[in-house]
Structure 1
């Protein structure tokens, strides 16, 4: 290197150090100016590129930050901190798989860095690799016993895996490390609820809110617990915070509707927006129909594929795409907010069924397809398998085996995407699979609703099939975990939402064999089967 190049390099380092001093002092504009000058003198300066990338990252300029990190890592591929920061940037952008690759490089370069392993666990968690995520969080907690975040994240992963007692211990250890930790108290509340420790759960949510009164997670989970316990007056208020930040479709509405006074609703222009899964849409569409029949001018922004089924309610509703929120309305609110807006309590749930109906022509087709003697039972055992939606509501196929012994019964699969090999052999031989034809068109549940009308009983897990059967007024038996979702309340064998529904809960945790065996016994008794 010549003397001029050496002097230029020294000058670049001096500018870099001044830039870092400015960054440490919080003067980011001055820091960027110094780093830019350093890079003008030495374009292949990985330390300055990384420092500039970090400032861009802090300021939300993700694309520029990513370009800087990638240039720096081309020049200096063994920079663990750059790989770590790049991973964090990709995580924030929702690119968990790419983030994991960066974080694994960081961990390989600095295997004893607890923070690196903790973030690697976060990427694994987002990818649904929960067992691997829990191992990464354990490693982080072992490397740094004072890292409360690692214990918190470990609790989150263990809870998703269903290891509730271990998850509870992880949250308690996080709190022991950091006593003022709202997120850990919120996690403790959720897992305590799953364990049936409702008083402990309520105290944990209250403590979380004492530390962070604006915690939407604590407010929504406390609201769900109150709903589970039948306290609808308080529960609906917390339930309004059920969306993660940035996912709320419409603001919280102050609108209130008196279904008992139609004159107060006549002419009111109301936009109702779909907000959750198809089961929620079916359950709460009863309110849409009631408001429209009471004289309100109701527009429903919902999934196009649900339109034909919901139109069977016969209510005068204007339909539009769920992304179209334009126009002037007296009230705009999410469909799942309608029970709150209508002042719903346990003793006044509008539970008249059926409020949805099978289409006559489709009913005629399936009447012919399902004709014949014997008790006709429809089966659905699997809901959404996305770990964020709680796939543990699904019934393990082997638990359905007792139904195979129902002599004189015909079993029909209502399971979308069912595969014969996923059922136990003795059951697979008995279940009639109706092929790929049902609901293969652009509209959901049209054929399923028609099939249900010809069935004597529907046996299902907690999924949209349960709500559809209930809305059609069909006899439906639902298998639930010991502590189920709030809408099934606690300990009840009936549902105030659907009069012809019966609930069969696991006696302990996820012991599915017990309620399915009980179902089989009660089917034999009710229909005098062998």
Structure 2
């Protein structure tokens, strides 16, 4: 993303002094001080200029930039707004205002400012580059890619626009185009660590794993503490089964300043319970609900070994997780107070337990549905036929990989199962066209898990199903943790936890994995799955 602009105004020497002339001279002197890095002196000169000419938008804009640089966001915004009230067509002020709002994650407002800047000065590559960054941040990746292309057309050697184009194309799933954009950034700047990190991510999604690892290694040679390169290399190593190295990289999954806990040096030997007895451990939930369910197994094992485990996680999960029977103290997910022998994030427990591919703890079940709810749903689901639960869509948050979800039209091959009864496990009805052949056979229940506790009804429904068919979402983890038969439909290169080229999951013994071929043809996947259901569940 481009930097906010300083406004430079060139004026000739005036023969006769006036307040306006003096204000201009003070302003120019302020710009010189600013260029020399003497910001306090610069802002003092701008203030003097504005005392002589209160309606001085250029001085207000430059003053706002200095205030922004010094971390005074509210004052900087007030300066920009005042400048724009005096000069509404001031493109640089709109641009600087957008940069300020972007820095404070006010993306929609930033986009409005960048829209104004681009409309006023359509030949500025920086304006398009920054607007593209804002568009990605609000989930409008296709438009973002077009803006980065405009920026590159105006300025072919614009390194940041090439990188941002790659980022936008990654969001669109256009991995080959993203790879080419990152390579363009590297051609423009051979020592560009971010370019190599982006290239590694794109190559991983294209299934070019060796080349991806080489790109990550080059990024880390250039910038050894790059969290982006460390984390993504770690995820690729986990995908390929290299857990020893992968967990170390995975510890960098949070950008600086966003970690919920520090990286912990704690180690827990689950094979030696005596070393864990009495240890006070605070575990902090750090990801989505699927991760919570997947990694909760470690809390169960630590508690069974005699550790005193406190779990800080969303209260809506307590009731479900408590079905494990483990002795756990629950607290709000933002509460890290108290003295503990170790404090660490939930997703860091596999590393702390030195988990390797061959030692993944896979107890099944380690969660249980409540008997009274199972009976309630058994009565509502009574009838003949193979009972299949369907979940085709995960989180609607565009920041979560949307390509894990399955457009329901691709479920059509399941209609070839004449004796099957289909039950929706979607808590939120997804506004996508459903195959007509299945629509009339899909049973939807209103009010599933409408109370304060998550997954209580869903777990009970699963207990009455013969099979759960789901995309990569929390439903897959819940079914696996309950020990229910579950078949997961995955995109060609899935998230690391599903590993590579396996039909089973070492995390869940009752799970079977179906993978799209290159190109993510979901209909082909369900054409493969349907006869397997017929064979396994003849009804």
TM category, shorter:
over 0.9
Matched, 1:469 2:479: yes
Structure 1's consecutive aligned runs of 4 or more residues displaced over 6 angstroms after TM superposition are none
Cα offset for 1:368?
1.0
Matched, 1:517 2:527: yes
Structure 2 residue runs of 5 or longer lacking an equivalent are 1-13
Q: 1:225 aligns with which of 226, 233, 236?
A: 236
1:174-218: CA deviation from partner (whole Å, max 9, x where unpaired)? 111111111111110001000000001000000111111111000
Q: 2:296 aligns with which of 260, 285, 294?
A: 285
* Structure-1 residue corresponding to 2:503: 493
* Structure-2 residue corresponding to 1:57: 68
* Structure-1 residue corresponding to 2:118: 107
Distance 1:245 1:428 in 2: 47
Distance 1:45 1:230 in 2: 62
* Structure-1 residue corresponding to 2:3: none
Q: Is the 8 A contact 2:393 2:430 kept in 1?
A: no
The alignment's TM-score, normalised by the length of structure 1, stands at 0.97
What does 1:251-330 correspond to in 2, within 5 Å?
251-330=262-341
1:381-405: CA deviation from partner (whole Å, max 9, x where unpaired)? 0001222110100111011001112
What does 1:38-437 correspond to in 2, within 5 Å?
38-418=49-429, 422-435=433-446, 437=447
Q: Is the 8 A contact 1:420 1:428 kept in 2?
A: no
3-state SS of paired residue (2:18)? helix
3-state SS of paired residue (1:387)? coil
Distance 1:421 1:180, change over 3 A: closer
Instruction: Answer with 31-40 or 265-274: which moved more.
Output: 31-40
Distance 1:16 1:38 in 2: 6
Distance 2:238 2:290 in 1: 17
1:305-324: CA deviation from partner (whole Å, max 9, x where unpaired)? 00100000000100000000
Distance 1:310 1:6 in 2: 78
3-state SS of paired residue (2:399)? helix
Instruction: Answer with 422-431 or 446-455: which moved more.
Output: 422-431
Q: CA RMSD in A?
A: 1.3
3-state SS of paired residue (1:333)? strand
Structure 1 residue runs of 5 or longer lacking an equivalent are none
3-state SS of paired residue (2:469)? strand
Q: Is the 8 A contact 2:407 2:432 kept in 1?
A: no
3-state SS of paired residue (1:402)? helix
Distance 1:209 1:419 in 2: 41
Q: Is the 8 A contact 1:483 1:509 kept in 2?
A: no
Matched, 1:456 2:466: yes
Cα offset for 1:133?
0.5
Q: Is the 8 A contact 1:97 1:123 kept in 2?
A: yes
* Structure-1 residue corresponding to 2:10: none
The alignment's TM-score, normalised by the length of structure 2, stands at 0.96
